[in-house]
């Protein structure tokens, strides 16, 4: 695994992708069952019901927000199903998002990626269900407490994403709204915050002005930043003919990624245009941001509708021409910031533009609602409270399907064996007798297969003076022992020395001492006379041979798993691989296979 | 009175400067492991081959000349990416493979014929210097990475020689030497140690009692023992003077007391390989500017410099008959095949090829 992700394992590794799809399919059945049960419950309880406490119509602006962000959460969930998501996200999204940020942001992003790196399959599936659950919840829970809880869930999860992806790149030099800052997830947070606002507030002019000014102010700030000299926004092509302009460069990069040719052509043409006319393009962007922002800040709403639509068209244009729809430039987890920004702009604009009498009626009914709690039930076509709470329970169950495994993974800190499987051959089933070896352990005590009678055995071959794999495997044997917990007493972890030259007990003891293996009670590092070692190597196909020219001894990295009767049941052709995560995955795999043969 | 303000400012400044000078840690001198030693039976050198820019594709090999035949006698079963230090006594060759990557202790091996190897082990890291390992009459001695001296009779059980405080590494770092022990030689009159001193000293060689060798060196300066070899004519110490960019050859003899005579000094910018002959000649291969230079210092102090060298000169070796030879190496990193070693003799100012042989490079084996 390279960097934070899976050094040595390609993001599209078929073993990991298959495990991802299998888990996704299994859990998909659970989700379908939850949704089916929710629908049945709703049908059963959907007869004439009591008048809901608050049946006032939802303000159009809030509905825009709710539907918009619900749709975005569902789209993000679908993006999570990309096959390369389990291994690609840590490097492709989290690290990439933070790589130009200060080191503390990078450290934060790295620590946030920790669980994902250890459990990539579980994490990718879990995030999918969390985001799908939030989306469905937001979609179905139109109002009241369930709707606000859905908004809160969205805020919480969007904050997790925003922090772990390096704060949307706001600390990176050259941060720009048009390039993705401050991150789509922060806009999801803002959308969620607006959904928390009581329905009645949407009719209040002060509230409408407040949210208009907040959004307008943010657009003006973005416009000033975009126009600030020295940030590369006004550049096009340098003296060598290289594209150096901010917008043109990003568009050029985006045009190079795999996508439909017509889209690539559009983005490439824009890149060329922006490279040749940087002042015109950036000047237009700055004017539009400042202009739309200014109209939103004004108390007068005379030009609000025009500004709103200009802003939306501008954001969509940036989304297509600069951000390449947000999903083609690598491993996308969301459609980038322009779509949520357009939703926010439309919702904030609509809040003011919605006919005042409509809002007033909504507000009046909303305010009057508490007084109607004791009134007689009025038959309704849709029993809203039941729909709301049924959808809430179903959504929470779907979210729980993601949150619980993630929480367990974070608490236990275990590593998925699938990483070791991805790097190596799958375990082979076997059924043959053990070689009746006669060697000595690290204490000089004679050892035969009878020594391990009644215990499962993991036997591997280690060179005590090896400089790469053997020390790693030795260390992971200690980890395997701790992963087995109380079952460790039923297991013997055995290494047979694999070096024709360095066969002494001194070499074995030095190896153990430097790797801290002396404290592992069920650890046996066996050596003995070379002829007996050679017979063991030959029987187990260890392939031990010295190579000329200053190379270490060559030998196979095979691990044999024996049952308690001394028969070989599983053969692992595995090495721990290049990083700590893969090491632990090897241990997890070995512990898992040992558990299948425990007495 | 008007001088006081100036003096009051200059005093703390000079104190600060002195403190800074004292506290600064000069860069440790990197001692070239490409080193040759020769006795009456064989000439032995450690040669580095492969991709010299990569720590895991660079391998060290032991190359031995017996009679006119050259053989590669690298100890088997251990990766040599960290380098090899060796010691020759009669037909017996002892090697220590420096730990690299995840290996944390030092595999040793000894041989009398280059074919059969007896493994040994030192449970620690050996000092990275060409004379950190030595042997004489069945005793093997080495310096570990912390500068402690260890001795062994069998190459596996080691006892640490108690050094006086004046020689202990921590004290060395605090004393005028401010360095470490980097070389050990076993002589008939007892062991002699070589130091790498970043502080100014007149002698880098010391006895195990901590007494600095009497020296004829003219001035105190930082100095490092490049080589410390017992020869038929007494001890030879090759000293590197980093501030003066020069090497000094000291002939040290033991009579009633240790006696030192500075034989010669030669200027070089960098040293890449050294050789010591049986009769006390020394050859140093190095660089001045972009060019390779070979300096030979004869036992009587005659200095001969060769600025025209065979291409790719990598090692210098004295044959048992006393002939100086240069080994040039062509690595085939891209094709990942054996490196070609060519042996050159000098006749007048001309270099003549005498033989060539291949050295297998196990590219990729240490990944």
CB-CB contact of B112 with B91 (8 Å): yes
* Closest residue of chain A to B60, computed from CA coordinates: A550
B76: domain CATH number is 2.130.10.10
* pLDDT tens figures, B15-56: 433 444 444 444 556 788 899 999 999 999 999 999 999 999
Residue numbers in A near B104 (CB within 8 A) = 514
- CB-CB under 8 Å, A552 with B365: yes
- CB-CB under 8 Å, A546 with B81: no
For B173, the token pair is: 């770092």
Which of B61, B77, B338 faces A553 most closely, judged by CB atoms?
B77
Q: What is the spatial distance between Cα B186 and Cα B183, in angstroms, rounded to a whole number?
A: 10
| DSSP type of residue A301 | -
State the count of interchain CB pairs (< 8 A) between A and B.
98
Q: Within a domain: residue B155?
A: yes
pLDDT at A554: 93
Residues of B with CB under 8 A from a CB of A: 59-61, 72, 74-81, 97, 99-105, 107, 109, 117, 119, 121, 123, 156, 338, 359-362, 365-367
* Residue A544 Cα, gap to closest chain B Cα (Å): 10
* pLDDT tens figures, A521-538: 999 999 999 999 999 999
- CB-CB under 8 Å, B80 with A548: no
Residue numbers in A near B78 (CB within 8 A) = 465, 501-502, 552-553
* Residue B100 Cα, gap to closest chain A Cα (Å): 6
Strand partners, B258: B254
Give chain A's domains with CATH numbers. 58-363+382-412 (no CATH), 420-595 (3.40.30.10)
- In whole angstroms, what separates CA B144 from the centre of its chain? 15
Q: Within a domain: residue B85?
A: yes
Q: What is the spatial distance between Cα B311 and Cα B294, in angstroms, rounded to a whole number?
A: 12
Residue numbers in A near B75 (CB within 8 A) = 501
Q: Within a domain: residue B37?
A: yes
For B119, the token pair is: 């493994």
* Closest residue of chain A to B123, computed from CA coordinates: A510
- CB-CB under 8 Å, B77 with A499: yes
3-class DSSP state of A5: coil
User: Residue B169: which pLDDT band, with cuts at 50, 70 and 90?
Assistant: low
Look at residues B124, B80, B142 and name the one whose alpha carbon lies nearest to residue A510: B124
User: Residue B166: which pLDDT band, with cuts at 50, 70 and 90?
Assistant: low
For A85, the token pair is: 């998501």
* Residue A595 Cα, gap to closest chain B Cα (Å): 30
- CB-CB under 8 Å, A503 with B59: no
- CB-CB under 8 Å, B77 with A500: yes
CB-CB contact of B88 with B37 (8 Å): yes
- Omega prior to A148 cis, within 30 of 0: no
Q: Select from A505, A527, A551, A583 the residue whose CB has the most chain B CBs within 10 Å, as the one to mutate to test that interface.
A: A551
Q: Within a domain: residue B108?
A: yes
Residue numbers in A near B361 (CB within 8 A) = 549-550
Whole-number Cα distances in Å, A301 to A358, B175, B298: 18, 82, 99
Look at residues B156, B66, B146 and name the one whose alpha carbon lies nearest to residue B110: B156
- CB-CB under 8 Å, A503 with B79: no
User: Residue B72: which pLDDT band, with cuts at 50, 70 and 90?
Assistant: very high
Which of B80, B104, B117 faces A550 most closely, judged by CB atoms?
B80
- CB-CB under 8 Å, A472 with B102: yes
Q: Within a domain: residue B79?
A: yes
* Burial class (CB within 10 angstroms; exposed 0-12, middle 13-18, buried 19+) of B16: exposed
Which of B59, B77, B361 faces A501 most closely, judged by CB atoms?
B77
Q: In A298-333, which ranges are continuous DSSP H helix?
A: 304-321
> How big is chain A, counted in residues?
599
3 state SS for A105-121? HHHHHHHHCHHHHHCHH
Q: What is the spatial distance between Cα A546 and Cα A465, in angstroms, rounded to a whole number?
A: 12
Q: Select from B76, B80, B104, B109 the residue whose CB has the most chain A CBs within 10 Å, as the one to mutate to test that interface.
A: B76
- CB-CB under 8 Å, B60 with A548: no
The more confidently predicted of residues A157 and B255 is: A157
- CB-CB under 8 Å, A503 with B366: no
Q: Within a domain: residue B22?
A: no
Q: In A202-277, which ranges are continuous DSSP H helix?
A: 205-227, 246-256, 261-276
- CB-CB under 8 Å, A472 with B76: no
Residue numbers in A near B73 (CB within 8 A) = none
- CB-CB under 8 Å, B362 with A550: yes
Q: What is the spatial distance between Cα B309 and Cα B180, in angstroms, rounded to a whole number?
A: 34
Average pLDDT in chain B = 86
Q: What is the spatial distance between Cα A244 and Cα A257, in angstroms, rounded to a whole number?
A: 18
- CB-CB under 8 Å, B72 with A501: no
CB-CB contact of A367 with A12 (8 Å): no
B215-253 burial code (b ≥16 CB/10 A, e <16):
bebeeebbbbbbbbbbbeebbbbbbbbbeeebbbbbbbe
Q: What is the spatial distance between Cα B316 and Cα B355, in angstroms, rounded to a whole number?
A: 14
* pLDDT tens-place values along chain A, 599 residues long: 323 334 467 888 888 999 999 999 999 999 999 888 888 877 777 655 455 555 567 889 999 999 999 999 999 999 999 998 998 887 766 666 666 667 777 776 776 677 888 889 999 999 999 999 999 999 988 878 889 999 999 999 999 888 887 787 777 777 888 888 898 999 999 999 999 998 888 889 999 999 999 999 999 999 999 988 887 788 888 877 787 777 888 888 877 777 788 888 888 888 888 888 888 999 999 999 999 999 999 988 889 999 999 999 999 999 988 888 877 766 788 889 999 999 999 999 999 887 655 555 555 555 554 444 443 444 444 445 777 788 888 899 999 999 999 888 888 777 888 888 888 888 999 999 999 999 999 999 999 999 999 999 999 999 999 999 899 999 999 999 999 999 999 999 999 999 999 999 999 999 999 999 999 999 999 999 999 999 999 999 999 999 888 999 999 989 999 999 999 999 998 777 666 677 778 899 999 999 999 98
* Residue A456 Cα, gap to closest chain B Cα (Å): 29
Residues of A with CB under 8 A from a CB of B: 463, 465-468, 471-472, 499-504, 506-507, 510, 513-514, 546-554
Q: Within a domain: residue B289?
A: yes
- CB-CB under 8 Å, A549 with B74: yes
Residue numbers in B near A513 (CB within 8 A) = 123
Q: Within a domain: residue B59?
A: yes
* pLDDT tens figures, A172-181: 777 888 888 8
- CB-CB under 8 Å, A550 with B121: no
Q: What is the spatial distance between Cα A69 and Cα A139, in angstroms, rounded to a whole number?
A: 9
pLDDT at A46: 64
Q: What is the domain count for chain B?
A: 1
Domain membership of residue B256 as a residue range: 30-359
- CB-CB under 8 Å, B103 with A467: yes
- CB-CB under 8 Å, B102 with A467: yes
Residue numbers in B near A548 (CB within 8 A) = 72, 74, 76, 360, 362
């Amino acid at each position: 695994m390279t960097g934070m992700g899976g050094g040595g394992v390609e993001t599209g590794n078929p073993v990991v992708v298959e495990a991802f799809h299998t888990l996704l399919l299994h859990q998909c059945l659970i989700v379908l069952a939850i949704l089916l049960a929710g629908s049945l419950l709703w049908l059963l309880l959907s007869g004439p019901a009591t008048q809901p406490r608050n049946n006032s119509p939802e303000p159009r602006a809030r509905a825009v927000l709710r539907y918009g962000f619900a749709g975005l959460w569902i789209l993000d969930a679908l993006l999570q199903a990309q096959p390369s998501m389990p291994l690609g996200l840590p490097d492709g999204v989290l690290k990439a998002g933070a790589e130009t940020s200060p080191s503390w942001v990078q450290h934060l992003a790295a620590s946030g990626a920790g669980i994902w790196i250890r459990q990539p399959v579980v994490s990718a599936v879990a995030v999918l269900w969390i985001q799908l659950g939030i989306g469905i919840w937001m979609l179905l829970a139109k109002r009241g407490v369930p709707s606000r809880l859905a908004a809160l869930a969205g805020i919480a999860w969007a904050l997790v994403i925003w922090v772990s992806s390096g704060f949307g790149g706001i600390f990176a030099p050259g941060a720009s709204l048009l390039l993705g800052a401050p991150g789509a997830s922060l806009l999801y947070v803002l959308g969620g915050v607006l959904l928390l606002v009581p329905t009645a507030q949407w009719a209040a002019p002060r509230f409408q002005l407040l949210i208009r000014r907040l959004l307008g102010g943010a657009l003006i700030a973005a416009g000033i930043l975009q126009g600030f000299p020295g940030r590369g926004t006004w550049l096009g092509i340098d003296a060598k003919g290289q594209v150096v302009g901010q917008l043109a460069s990003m568009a050029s990069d985006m045009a190079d990624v795999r996508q439909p040719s017509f889209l690539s052509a559009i983005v490439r043409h824009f890149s060329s245009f922006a490279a040749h006319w940087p002042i015109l393009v950036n000047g237009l962007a700055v004017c539009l941001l400042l202009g739309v922002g200014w109209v939103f800040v004004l108390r007068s709403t005379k030009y609000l509708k025009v500004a709103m639509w200009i802003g939306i068209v501008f954001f969509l244009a940036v989304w297509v021409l600069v951000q390449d729809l947000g999903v083609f430039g690598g491993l996308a987890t969301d459609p980038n910031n322009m779509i949520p920004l357009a939703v926010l702009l439309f919702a904030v604009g609509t809040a003011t533009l919605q006919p005042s009498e409509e809002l007033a009626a909504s507000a009046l009914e909303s305010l009057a609602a508490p007084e109607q709690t004791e009134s007689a039930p009025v038959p309704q076509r849709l029993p809203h409270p039941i729909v709301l709470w049924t959808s809430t329970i179903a959504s929470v169950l779907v979210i729980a399907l993601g949150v619980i495994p993630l929480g367990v993974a974070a608490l236990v800190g275990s590593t998925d064996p699938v990483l070791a499987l991805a790097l190596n051959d799958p375990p082979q089933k076997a059924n043959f007798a053990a070689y009746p070896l006669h060697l000595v352990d690290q204490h000089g005590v004679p050892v035969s297969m009878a020594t391990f009678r009644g215990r499962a055995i993991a036997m591997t071959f280690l060179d005590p003076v090896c400089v790469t794999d053997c020390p790693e495997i030795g260390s992971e044997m200690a980890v395997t022992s701790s992963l087995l917990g109380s079952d460790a007493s039923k297991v013997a972890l055995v290494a047979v020395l694999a070096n024709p030259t360095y066969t002494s007990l001194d070499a074995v003891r030095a190896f153990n001492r430097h790797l801290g293996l002396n404290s592992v009670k069920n650890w046996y590092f066996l050596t003995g006379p070379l002829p007996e070692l050679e017979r063991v190597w030959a029987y187990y196909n260890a392939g031990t041979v010295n190579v000329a020219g200053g190379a270490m001894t060559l030998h196979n990295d095979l691990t044999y798993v024996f049952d308690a009767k001394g028969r070989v049941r599983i053969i692992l052709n595995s090495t721990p691989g290049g990083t700590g995560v893969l090491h632990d995955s090897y241990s997890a795999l070995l512990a898992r296979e040992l558990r299948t043969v425990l007495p | 009175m008007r001088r006081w303000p100036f003096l009051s400012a200059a005093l703390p400044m000079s104190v600060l400067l002195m403190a800074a000078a004292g506290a600064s840690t000069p860069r440790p001198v990197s001692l070239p492991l490409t080193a040759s030693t020769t006795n009456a039976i064989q000439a032995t050198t450690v040669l580095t081959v492969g991709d010299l820019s990569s720590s895991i594709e660079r391998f060290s090999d032991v190359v031995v000349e017996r009679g006119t035949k050259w053989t590669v006698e690298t100890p088997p079963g251990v990766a040599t990416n960290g380098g090899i230090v060796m010691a020759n006594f009669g037909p017996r060759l002892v090697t220590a493979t420096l730990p690299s990557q995840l290996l944390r202790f030092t595999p040793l091996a000894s041989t009398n014929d280059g074919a059969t190897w007896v493994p040994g082990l030192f449970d620690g890291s050996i000092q990275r210097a060409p004379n950190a390992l030595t042997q004489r009459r069945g005793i093997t001695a080495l310096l570990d990475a912390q500068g402690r001296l260890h001795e062994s009779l069998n190459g596996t059980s080691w006892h640490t020689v108690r050094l006086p405080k004046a020689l202990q590494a921590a004290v060395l770092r605090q004393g005028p030497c401010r360095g470490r022990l980097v070389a050990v030689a076993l002589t008939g009159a007892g062991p002699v140690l070589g130091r790498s001193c970043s502080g100014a000293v007149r002698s880098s060689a010391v006895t195990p009692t901590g007494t600095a060798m009497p020296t004829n060196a003219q001035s105190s300066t930082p100095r490092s023992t490049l080589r410390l070899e017992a020869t038929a004519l007494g001890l030879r110490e090759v000293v590197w003077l980093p501030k003066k960019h020069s090497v000094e050859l000291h002939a040290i003899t033991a009579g009633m007391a240790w006696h030192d005579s500075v034989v010669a000094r030669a200027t070089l910018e960098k040293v890449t390989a050294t050789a010591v002959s049986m009769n006390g000649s020394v050859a140093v291969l190095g660089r001045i500017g972009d060019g390779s230079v070979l300096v030979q210092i004869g036992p009587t102090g005659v200095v001969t410099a060769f600025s025209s060298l065979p291409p790719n000169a990598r090692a210098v070796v004295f044959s048992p008959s006393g002939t100086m030879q240069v080994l040039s190496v062509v690595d085939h990193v891209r094709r990942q095949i054996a490196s070609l070693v060519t042996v050159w003799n000098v006749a007048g100012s001309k270099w003549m090829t005498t033989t060539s042989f291949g050295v297998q490079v196990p590219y990729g084996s240490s990944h």
